[in-house]
Amino acid sequence: MQQSEIIVVGGGLVGAAIAYGAARAGAAVTLLDQGDIAHRASRGNFGLVWVQSKGAGFPRYARWSRDAVAYWPELAKELLDLTGVDVALENAGGFWIGFSDAEVQARGAMLAKISDAIGGVPYEMLDHRELKARLPAIGPKVAGGSFCPLDGHANPLKLLHALHAGLMARGSRIVSSVDIATVARRGDRREFEAISTDGRRWRAARIVLAAGLSNRELAPQVGLHAPVSPNRGQVLITERLKPFLPYPTNKARQTHEGTVQLGSSVEDVGLDDGTTVPAIESLARRAIATFPVLSSARLVRAWGALRVMTPDGAPIYQESSSHPGAFVATSHSGVSLAAAHAYALGPWMAGFAKEPEDFAEFAGERYLDPARSFSNAH
Amino acid sequence: MHTETADRQAALFASEEAIGPNTVRIQFEDRTLCVREGTTVAAALLLNGAGPLRTTPVKSTPRAPYCMMGVCFECLVSVDGKPSRQACLTTVRDGMVIKRQHGASALDLSDEGDRHGL
């Protein structure tokens, strides 16, 4: 049995960012990571740091996304100084690409609605000619697009590495290959215990469930509701190419090293994280329709990964009312929201800061309201 | 970087058979090489002391053929103007023009998709 002030169950981007923020605020943190049997959403994602279109119909989530990217440069610099890992943040803006006028008009209406709802999210709508001036590589089938200057991208694997290295630098304990099956309050004491499938135990006054798809089973054990389900995204990786794409787009980004990542499918296939020929073909066709120059690029990898999806696509953040000190955090935007998870959630969940304002809106019970219906746009 | 001297260094490898009548001519940088028909570009270049065939995209480190079975991607060269061909999986052909590849391959930015029905 090992004791600390706060246990974080889940060592992916969400858990590691919260744990890092808690450690930074001064907590003694134990991070429990499931290891190689985990679904590993944080190792298969796309790497966008994205604001535009987030939070349609959910203004608190739109505001949270906008605030989160504002914190990002500070997090990137802090991690570089502390760990020497450059997470390759580029935040000069990003483009969404549309293939029909109707699609572009609907996009404009949605972005206007989000911006009005939270007092301003900067964006521009661009027709083909205007977009071509900014992204010369677009092809003739592109109808137009939108640009948001707050958007960007980063290297998600380096971010995960930097957060883990930062935790170690701040004296936190990271335990790998721990499959937590049980979380419980010990008697009526304000102390929680996490028990692994092989019988190991960890105790702390506070516990954060950031276990991705496992949150569905873990959350009810401490009075929380986190009905997450898997949603597969397949992506393609090209060989390294000389720079041709100066900004990330919603379906393609060129990394610092020159590879182009092409995404991503949206599939409801349970826990199957494999790849399929039809999805790869569809992604490649769309990529070439967007940027015809990619027709001569060679693909070197494809993979599938499982998004941790909530019914409305927005995060769940909540402290248990029946088990105070137990928290749930779940989101499929572990990169975009990383800095907010570190700087706002970490101190709150570790007990150094109040719950951020209007956070009741992120409670998992919203899915139990029979008067509401949900769509996650994925 | 490669110098003229490096281009002409003694071959590390030798063929067990003398080159027979079935040979083809290939162009490698400024050299014309007479190589055995049916062999791979990588083998032909190694036998002729070609030295490094490419430099890496990020750190410009020199690289030469290594696995000779299509796995390591260290032997990438430009073949007849097409970048990033695996020399170890490409069979020589008379008149083939092979060039070293420096860094990442560049896309043809004049490609407007006309060739692809776009």
- Phi, psi dihedrals of residue A310, rounded to the nearest 5°: -95, 165
Q: Which residues of A touch B (CB under 8 A)?
A: 136-137, 139-141, 239-242, 244, 257-258, 288-289, 292-298, 300
B1 band by pLDDT with thresholds 50, 70 and 90: very low
Residues of chain B contacting A139 with CB distance shorter than 8 Å: 112-113, 118
* Whole-Å CA distances, A130 to A87, A108, A136: 31, 15, 10
What is the distance in angstroms between the Cα of A140 and the nearest Cα belonging to chain B?
Answer: 7
Q: What angle do CA B61, B64, B68 make, to 5 degrees?
A: 140
* Closest-CA residue of chain B to A139: B112
Residues of chain A contacting B58 with CB distance shorter than 8 Å: 240, 257-258
pLDDT digits (tens, 9 = 90+) for A321-343: 999 999 999 999 999 999 999 99
Mean pLDDT of A225-244: 95
* Closest-CA residue of chain B to A298: B84
User: Which tokens belong to A139?
Assistant: 């092809």
Using H for helix, E for strand and C for coil, what is the string for chain A? CEEEEEEEECCCHHHHHHHHHHHHHCCCEEEECCCCCCCCHHHCCCCEECCCCCCCCCHHHHHHHHHHHHHHHHHHHHHHHHHCCCCCCECCCEEEEECCHHHHHHHHHHHHHHHHHCCCCCCEEEEHHHHHHHCCCCCCCCCEEEEECCCEECCHHHHHHHHHHHHHHCCCEEECCCCEEEEEECCCCCCEEEEECCCCEEEEEEEEECCHHHHHHHHHHHCCCCCCEEEEEEEEEECCECCCCCCCECCEEECCCCCEEECCCCECCCCCCCCCHHHHHHHHHHHHHHCHHHHHCCEEEEEEEEEEECCCCCCEEEECCCCCCEEEEECCCCCCCHHHHHHHHHHHHCCCCCCCCCHHHHCHHHHHCCCCCCCCCC
Mean pLDDT of A101-129: 97
- Sign of CA pseudo-dihedral B83, B89, B95, B99: positive
pLDDT reported for residue A355: 97
Mean pLDDT of A101-113: 97
Name the one residue in this structure whose structure tokens are 């796309």.
A46
- Look at the pTM and tell me if it is higher than 0.95: no
* C-beta separation of A87 from A158 below 8 A: yes
pLDDT at residue A360 tops 70 = yes
**Does the interface ipTM go beyond 0.95?**
no
Query: Is B107's CB within 8 Å of A294's CB?
Result: yes
* Closest-CA residue of chain B to A255: B58
pLDDT digits (tens, 9 = 90+) for A239-248: 999 999 999 9
Mean pLDDT of A184-203: 91
* C-beta separation of A71 from A78 below 8 A: no
pLDDT reported for residue B10: 64
pLDDT at residue B16 tops 70 = no
Name the one residue in this structure whose structure tokens are 């049997």.
A37
Facing residue for A297 by CB, picked from B107, B112, B116: B107
Per the prediction, chain A carries an average pLDDT of: 95
Query: Is B115's CB within 8 Å of A295's CB?
Result: yes
Best of A138, A240, A300 to mutate (most B CBs within 10 Å, chain B) = A240
Tell me the residues of chain B between 47 and 66 that have a Cβ less than 8 Å away from chain A: 57-58
* C-beta separation of A328 from A364 below 8 A: yes
Query: Is B104's CB within 8 Å of A139's CB?
Result: no
* Whole-Å CA distances, A361 to A28, A316, B62, B64: 29, 9, 56, 58
Mean pLDDT of A8-30: 97
Mean pLDDT of B20-39: 91
Mean pLDDT of B36-59: 94
B117 in A contact zone (CB under 8 Å): no
Strands A152-153 and B62-63: unpaired
Question: In angstroms, rounded to a whole number, what is the distance separating the alpha carbons of residues A134 and B101?
Answer: 29
Which of the 8 DSSP states describes residue B113? S
Mean pLDDT of A155-176: 97
Give buried/exposed letters for B10-41 (b at 16+ CB in 10 A, else e): eeeeeeeeeeeeeebebebeeeebebbeebbb
pLDDT at residue A58 tops 90 = yes
Facing residue for B105 by CB, picked from A136, A139, A241: A241
Which of the 8 DSSP states describes residue B87? G
- Per CATH, which fold does B4-104 belong to? Ubiquitin-like (UB roll) (3.10.20)
* C-beta separation of A318 from A166 below 8 A: no
pLDDT reported for residue B110: 64
Domains of chain A: 2-81+156-227+312-368 (3.50.50.60), 94-149 (no CATH), 229-309 (3.30.9.10)
pLDDT at residue A302 tops 60 = yes
Most confident of the ranges A254-258, A294-298, B46-50, B88-92:
B88-92
Question: In angstroms, rounded to a whole number, what is the distance separating the alpha carbons of residues A298 and B104?
Answer: 12
Mean pLDDT of A84-101: 98
pLDDT at residue B2 tops 50 = no
Query: Is B106's CB within 8 Å of A241's CB?
Result: yes
Best of B77, B101, B107 to mutate (most A CBs within 10 Å, chain A) = B107
A40 band by pLDDT with thresholds 50, 70 and 90: confident
User: Which tokens belong to A256?
Assistant: 């610092």
B19 band by pLDDT with thresholds 50, 70 and 90: low
Name the one residue in this structure whose structure tokens are 């909530």.
A310
- Phi, psi dihedrals of residue A183, rounded to the nearest 5°: -130, 135
Domain ranges of chain B: 4-104
Mean pLDDT of B102-109: 81
